Amino acid sequence: METCKLEKRGKLFILTLTGEDEHRLNPTRIDAIRSALNQIRSGSSSLSGSVLITTAHGKFFSNGYDLAWAGSSPEKIRLMSSKLRELVVDLISFPMPTVAAITGHACAAGMIFALCHDYIVMRKDRGFLYMSEMDIGLKIPAWFMAVMSCKIGDARVQRDVVLRARKLTAKQAVESGIIDVALDSAEETVKGAVELGENLAKKGWKGQVYSENRKELYRKVIDKLGVDETTDDVENVAIATSKM
């Protein structure tokens, strides 16, 4: 079953999470995304001046880990965490600017996935950014915190996102400095992302240099990716099923 599709539009690579489901981050979907990223990296054309845009169909950008699939198996949860962390390494070292065009809800691990892009454009008529862990009763791993600390500058906003499980609309996310632009609809959001992508592509940046600079910028995240203390400890983890 296809979980994502990759298309090339000039210098832009557009990765779309297909289907009207919640685009939960299970091993199958993560593998498909990584495979698409791999395809881009190993493509024959020069990557300088290229841009990646990640978007999704339907009501959800991504609703987080596939907790239903994992059930009560700590091994499955650990597998999802380690695969997501590998995906994050891919994104942070990706040899071109990355734009997330958020056309639906991005929650928990789904929000982290979105935040791992360089730019975020989001629709303002629908959808939330939401770290649901506090509401579900799950501890947030240190590596998630590192992503948020890098991408959400303000201490009070971080506090609201993490300790208050605040649901942010695109407008609120722009005001809080988390995302770049809020646009009217799904179509406008993708259009806006493409426009931003084209402007970034025009710079003709060398992919390798971009990758190295981004890795240093987000060194704090990279340093934390080796461990997920919430999933590595088998005995103490009880898996919650989604509240959505």
Partner 1 sequence: MCSLEKRGNLFILTLTGQSVEHRLNPHLITSIIAALSQAKAQSSRGSALVTVSHGKFFCNGIDLDWVNAVARSNQEAQQHFDHLYHSLKRLVLAFISLPMPTVAAVNGHVAAAGVVLALCHDYVIMRRDRGVLYMSELDKGIGIPEVFMALFRAKISGSTRRDILLRGLKIKGEEALKMGIAEAVHDGEEGVTDAGTEMGDELAKRKWDGEVYVEIRKGLYPELCGMLGMTSNVTATPKL
Q: Which residues bind partner 1 (CB under 8 A)?
A: 133-142, 144-145, 153-156, 158-159, 162-165, 229-230, 233, 236-241, 243
**Nearer to partner 1 (CB atom), residue 51 or residue 221:** 221
Say what the alpha-carbon torsion angle 190, 196, 198, 204 is, to the nearest 10 degrees: -140
**Nearer to partner 1 (CB atom), residue 2 or residue 235:** 235
AA identity, residue 14? I
Closest separation between CB of residue 125 and partner 1, Å?
27
**DSSP, res 65:** B
Closest separation between CB of residue 108 and partner 1, Å?
12
**Nearer to partner 1 (CB atom), residue 5 or residue 220:** 220
Measured CA to CA in angstroms, residue 227 lies from 65, 84, 108, 148, 214 at distances of 17, 12, 18, 16, 21
Residues with Cβ within 8 Å of 191's Cβ and at least 6 positions away in sequence, in order, are: 183
| β-bridge partners, 52 | 13, 98
Helix H, strand E, coil C: the string for 176-213 is: CCCCCEEECCHHHHHHHHHHHHHHHHCCCCCHHHHHHH
| β-bridge partners, 106 | 62, 129
**Nearer to partner 1 (CB atom), residue 164 or residue 219:** 164
Closest separation between CB of residue 27 and partner 1, Å?
20
**Nearer to partner 1 (CB atom), residue 89 or residue 142:** 142
**Nearer to partner 1 (CB atom), residue 43 or residue 177:** 177
C-alpha–C-alpha distance, residues 140 and 7, integer Å: 34
**Nearer to partner 1 (CB atom), residue 95 or residue 110:** 110
Q: Are 3 and 19 in contact (CB under 8 A)?
A: yes
Closest separation between CB of residue 87 and partner 1, Å?
21
Closest separation between CB of residue 163 and partner 1, Å?
6
Closest separation between CB of residue 177 and partner 1, Å?
10
Closest separation between CB of residue 82 and partner 1, Å?
16
Measured CA to CA in angstroms, residue 232 lies from 144, 156, 162, 238 at distances of 15, 30, 21, 12
